[in-house]
A and B are shown apart, each in its own frame.
Chain A
């Protein structure tokens, strides 16, 4: 190193004087960030030329699952232009009841149905995944995931007992079953 020569680091830009463009870009990122937070609240959306496109997000406990879009037109009256909801969600029924009179309630009820469905499906997937060694075959379920039937084995003292469980979720806005039936074919307690 040469004596007497000071080393000064290269300053790329002066952080105390951000450019006008940088300030605007900061603000844009900041607002986008806030809009993403709305996604976490369950109802977010974007204004369109002819109305609003809502996004209903679903989650089970802390895990966010699928989100669904609902494109609404607001003139001459509120109507559904297009959507990405599964066919087994009673959208027309709910729309008939609430869409014209109370859009917030319409979205809340829809959100209840979608979240309950997503929750039931997630729980069924997790059950299949985490207890695959105890479950015999595959979990049987309908598309709404409100009827679950599966066979599982419980071992005790070198005997294996085959059980069968049937879960019925009577309330479509709920992700907990309303009826559970468990049966065991006791005569065929096969030896291990």
Chain B
């Protein structure tokens, strides 16, 4: 067979293999993003997997490895949420574009920072370079619970304009912590003031 034709077929096979790989990734991403399993279902799966593969290892990770991996990840996540005060309630993402070394995903995130609630929407562009991944946030939309506070809404608008997601979280963290301090301090004084008034009026009546 002519070498040229062979090469042509080989090139075509390679292109098709790359296309299959891309489509498989797209399918897996889609499955991941459109499925949801509750905590009970997760626990049941752990138990069922451990029963099925009692002592066996079929070339995949053993069920105890998977369980350990999950526990380690969940411990890290729980620590970060406690430490930073940022609790994520819901997170969903959808792959909008995936070509070569470029991935664009649309994220929806809701949660609280200490006692303040927020909802976010943004697009994240990730580009794979030789050594690292570069990330850029665009189309950022923010909804804050205390949106009536003009300071907060001005802050949110300025963040949205420049796509400053990192600044949003850092500032929110500081603001929310001080908001908590003020709320507790106010409550403390309110209680003490009411007590003092009762004592004073009690004395006055006598």
Interface residues of A (CB under 8 A from B): 15, 18, 20-21, 23-35, 37-38, 40-47, 52, 57-59, 61-64, 104, 108, 111, 115
Interface pair B76/A45, CB less than 8 Å apart: yes
Can you add 14 more A-B contacts, CB < 8 Å, to A31-B77, A41-B169? A20-B46, A24-B45, A24-B63, A33-B91, A33-B93, A34-B77, A42-B169, A44-B80, A47-B76, A57-B166, A61-B164, A64-B166, A108-B170, A115-B166
* Interface core residue of A15, A35, A42, A62 (most chain B CB under 10 Å): A62
B15 interfacial contact with A, CB 8 Å: no
A84 nearest CB across to chain B (Å): 13
Residues of chain B contacted by A58 (CB below 8 angstroms): 166
Interface pair B70/A24, CB less than 8 Å apart: yes
With A27-B37, A34-B88: A42-B170 Cβ-Cβ less than 8 Å: yes
Interface pair B52/A29, CB less than 8 Å apart: no
Residues of chain A contacted by B124 (CB below 8 angstroms): 40
For the complex, give the distance between the alpha carbons of A44 and B170 in Å: 12
Contact of B83 (CB < 8 Å), options: A18, A23, A64, A104:
A104
Residues of chain B contacted by A37 (CB below 8 angstroms): 88, 91, 107, 109
A35 nearest CB across to chain B (Å): 6
With A28-B70, A29-B32: A59-B164 Cβ-Cβ less than 8 Å: yes
B41 interfacial contact with A, CB 8 Å: yes
Taking CB as reference atom, which chain B residue is nearest A44?
B80
Contact of A62 (CB < 8 Å), options: B77, B107, B162:
B162
Taking CB as reference atom, which chain A residue is nearest B66?
A24
For the complex, give the distance between the alpha carbons of A24 and B71 in Å: 11
Interface pair A46/B76, CB less than 8 Å apart: yes
Residues of chain B contacted by A61 (CB below 8 angstroms): 162-164
A59 nearest CB across to chain B (Å): 4
Contact of B75 (CB < 8 Å), options: A20, A33, A47, A108:
A47
Residue total for B at the interface (Cβ-Cβ under 8 A) = 50
B48 interfacial contact with A, CB 8 Å: yes
Residues of chain B contacted by A34 (CB below 8 angstroms): 77, 88, 91
Interface pair A31/B75, CB less than 8 Å apart: no
B197 interfacial contact with A, CB 8 Å: no
Interface residues of B (CB under 8 A from A): 31-32, 35, 37, 41-42, 44-46, 48-49, 52, 60, 63, 66-67, 69-70, 73-77, 79-80, 83-84, 86, 88, 91, 93, 107, 109, 124, 134-138, 140, 162-167, 169-170, 173-174
Interface pair A41/B49, CB less than 8 Å apart: no
Taking CB as reference atom, which chain A residue is nearest B165?
A40
Contact of B76 (CB < 8 Å), options: A35, A40, A115:
A35
Interface pair A62/B83, CB less than 8 Å apart: no
A41 nearest CB across to chain B (Å): 4
For the complex, give the distance between the alpha carbons of A43 and B174 in Å: 13
For the complex, give the distance between the alpha carbons of A148 and B83 in Å: 37
For the complex, give the distance between the alpha carbons of A115 and B73 in Å: 27
Interface pair B66/A21, CB less than 8 Å apart: yes
For the complex, give the distance between the alpha carbons of A108 and B37 in Å: 35
Interface pair B166/A59, CB less than 8 Å apart: yes
B191 nearest CB across to chain A (Å): 27
Residues of chain B contacted by A63 (CB below 8 angstroms): 134-137
For the complex, give the distance between the alpha carbons of A45 and B76 in Å: 7
For the complex, give the distance between the alpha carbons of A36 and B164 in Å: 17
B117 nearest CB across to chain A (Å): 16
